[in-house]
Each structure stands twice: as C-alpha cells, then as structure tokens.
Amino acid sequence: MPLVLSHLPRRLAALAHATSTTRCHSWNLSPVSASQQRQRSRGFHSSNGESKMTASKYQISERGAPNSTDYRVFFKNENGQAISPLHDIPLYANDARTVYNMVVEVPRWTNAKMEISLGEGLNPIKQDVKKGKLRFVANCFPHHGYIWNYGAFPQTWENPDHLDANTSCKGDNDPIDVLEIGSRVARRGDVLQVKILGTIALIDEGETDWKVITISVNDPLADQVNDINDVETVFPGLLKASVEWFKIYKIPDGKPENQFAFNGEAKDAAFAIKTVEETHRFWQQLVNKEVENNGISCLNTTVDGSPYLVANDAANEVFAKSSDGGNPEPLSETLDKWHYITLK
C-alpha cells in the first residue's frame, strides 16, 4: 500500500514499523513552510517565566546576516554588558540548587544546528558548518527537526580526558546537552529555568554525550513530572521517540546508527543530577586553568579568581569587533524533505 504523504496525523504509525534491514529513502514534503521555519528558528528575546520563576534577566544581540556563516547570537546581562553564556550564566537558578538555567540553542521543530561556539571569545551561539555549508538536521519521519527545545547547561563541561565509569567512554569536550520537553516552543537564546528529570547517554563516535531530560518549571505540567518514570506517564512515547531520534538523525548524512550506553535506557533524576554536578566540577577546573582548555575560550566577566576573567569593557570590545556582515545562503532543501528510515 503506498504511503499517503499528505496525511500527517498518520505519521506516528511509523514508530511501530521495523524490518530486518536498515534502509533510508527520502520524499519531498513541506509540513512547515520556509517562512514558518525562519520565524520559529530565530529567537530574539529572553524567556518569560509566568508563575514559578521570574523573567530571565538575560538578553541577546544578533550579529551578522542570518543564515550565513557570520551569524552570531551574543548574550548580555541585565545591564547590557556582554557576557559568555557558557561561563557567566550560573548553572543553578535558585539557592537550593534544585532549578537549573538552560541556554536554548535550537527551538523545537527547527532544523538549523545551532550551538554555543566554544572557540570564540564570549562563546556566542552560531550555526555548525560542515564542508563550508551551514548544517541542518534532516527530518527523519515522523520527526520534524528537533523534537524538544535543545540546548546546554552553562558552567558544565564533559572533560575529554575523563573516562566515565558508567559508559567507559571519555567526554566530548562540550557543555552537557539538555532536552526541555515542556509545551512551549522556546526561542533561540532563551535562558529557561528547568528541573532535571533524568538522562540518556549517547555514545557519539566513541565519546560520552549525555542528554539531560528536563522540563521548564513554568510549564503547566511541571508539577506532574519529577522523575524519569513520570515522563512516560505524562508524555507517553516521548522517551522512546527521543532515543529513536538520536539513533537515526545522522543516517541521512551517510553515517551509521548512533549507539547508547545502558541499551538506551533512561536514568533517573538522581543519576542525572550527579552527572551534571560532575560536569560542573570539570568546568570549574577548566575556567580556573587547572586543566588544559582544549581549544575552549574561557573569557568571562564573573568567575572570581579565574585567570580568564576580564573587565566589562574588554568583553564589550570583543562583542563590538564581531562580524556584522555575511552572505546569506539559500535555505537548505533539508527543511522540506522527509527521510524514511527503518532500523534493524
């Protein structure tokens, strides 16, 4: 029976489909228009907490032409001074250390692979580049773009010289990744206040790449989810879909299926919190120059005692010298294509 590509509600049936071989085939489809893609993927404001946390005190400033290799999203504090989202936004959002700040790099349903630039001063968000072209993740049916608000915890670092006892793999030299599963589609550069629910451990080309599952404390369902088992109850199918997403999202680029530690089983909140605390300690070693910086710019304006600490004027100068040009590229055909993938 042929696939009915126009019936999007039927796409969920593909989750249950499997055969004995791994196949990848593609069809052109436009579930989200190019204009909608641009509107959803470009976040120009800080987050608005509505009930349990106050509005974010951080703001963003764009530099360079959107959809170009010069495009950057810089962060500023409430006084308009340039800061690093990696080093100057605290990991913990409350004194009890039960709520965390999350920097949103990629809003849900968008494809542009945006990330905190580790090697640049003040670590702005930029789009990943592959072979000189801006990188977009493929739409692997039934998923369109990223299926959560995706980002990172500030003041964390997965040490590439540390062998993780749980995964038997070293870290990937990045801040720890965060999936926010609440109902709101965030905006690029939002700083969300979230609570940790659990984590899954992707093994990416032999490196440990933790994916911490969270929910905004301002989400209407936040009170109903406090641990990983609650996720399946309140968001049935999301954990399975998340593991599937990470398994297959690189296959359209000709790469093999991704692997997971623990057979893809999600670990609980206590395990995840311990993992985040460990990566926070690694970051402290990094920013205090107790270990090699591994190509990461540790320029900051707030970390007392850090040899990389600079005055506000110096940070503002870094921002002022950033590129404000760039030649926009045509929108990628990836935005309008489905890839149908069957796992073994």
Read off the pTM: 0.86
Which tokens hold the place of 141? 């049916």
* Structure confidence at residue 205 (pLDDT): 87
What mean pLDDT is predicted for residues 1-14? Answer: 32
Residue 268 located in a structural domain = yes
Torsion sign, CA atoms 244, 245, 251, 257? negative
Residue 161 located in a structural domain = yes
CB 221 within 8 Å of CB 231: no
Q: Which candidate, 331, 297, 325, places its Cα nearest to that of 63?
A: 325
Cα three-residue angle 64-116-333, rounded to 5 degrees: 65
* Structure confidence at residue 332 (pLDDT): 85
Residue 343 located in a structural domain = no
H-type alpha helices, the chain: 34-41, 228-234, 238-248, 269-287, 312-320
* Structure confidence at residue 53 (pLDDT): 64
333 or 193: which leads in pLDDT: 193
Amino acid at 57: K
Q: How far apart, in whole angstroms, are the C-alpha atoms of residue 287 and residue 296?
A: 10
* Structure confidence at residue 55 (pLDDT): 56
CB 44 within 8 Å of CB 60: yes
CB 196 within 8 Å of CB 212: yes
Residue 41 has pLDDT above 60, yes or no: no
Residue 98 located in a structural domain = yes
Question: How many separate helices (H) and strands (E) can be counted in the chain?
Answer: 5, 18
Residue 183 has pLDDT above 80, yes or no: yes
132 or 36: which leads in pLDDT: 132
SS3 of residue 74 by DSSP: strand
Which pLDDT band, with edges at 50, 70 and 90, does 38 fall under?
very low
SS3 of residue 197 by DSSP: strand
Among the residue ranges 46-55, 81-90, 148-157, 180-189, the one predicted with the least confidence is: 46-55
CB 140 within 8 Å of CB 146: no
Residue 25 located in a structural domain = no
CB 246 within 8 Å of CB 260: yes
Q: CB burial class (10 A; 0-12, 13-18, 19+) of residue 19?
A: exposed
Residue 71 has pLDDT above 80, yes or no: yes
Residue 106 located in a structural domain = yes
What mean pLDDT is predicted for residues 99-120? Answer: 98
The number of domains in the chain is: 1
Q: Which candidate, 93, 89, 171, places its Cα nearest to that of 124?
A: 89
Q: Which domain holds residue 114?
A: 90-120+131-296
Tokens 């990744």 found at: 177
pLDDT tens-digit readout, 243-296: 999 999 999 999 999 999 999 999 999 999 999 999 999 999 999 999 999 999
Which pLDDT band, with edges at 50, 70 and 90, does 100 fall under?
very high
Residue 5 has pLDDT above 70, yes or no: no
SS3 of residue 338 by DSSP: strand
Collect all residues with Cβ–Cβ distance below 8 Å to 131 and sequence separation of at least 6: none
Residue 48 has pLDDT above 90, yes or no: no
17 or 310: which leads in pLDDT: 310
Residue 37 located in a structural domain = no
CATH of the domain at 232: 3.90.80.10
Percent of the chain with pLDDT over 70: 84
* Structure confidence at residue 15 (pLDDT): 35
What mean pLDDT is predicted for residues 178-186? Answer: 98
- 3-class secondary structure per residue, 93-150: CCCCCCCEEEEEEECCCCCECEEECCCCCCCCEEECEECCEECECCEECCCCCCCCEE
- State how beta strands 100-106 and 149-152 pair: antiparallel
Residue 212 located in a structural domain = yes
Residue 21 has pLDDT above 80, yes or no: no
Percent of the chain with pLDDT over 90: 80
Provide the β-strand partners of residue 76. 59, 82
Which tokens hold the place of 125? 């968000």
Which tokens hold the place of 49? 């907490």
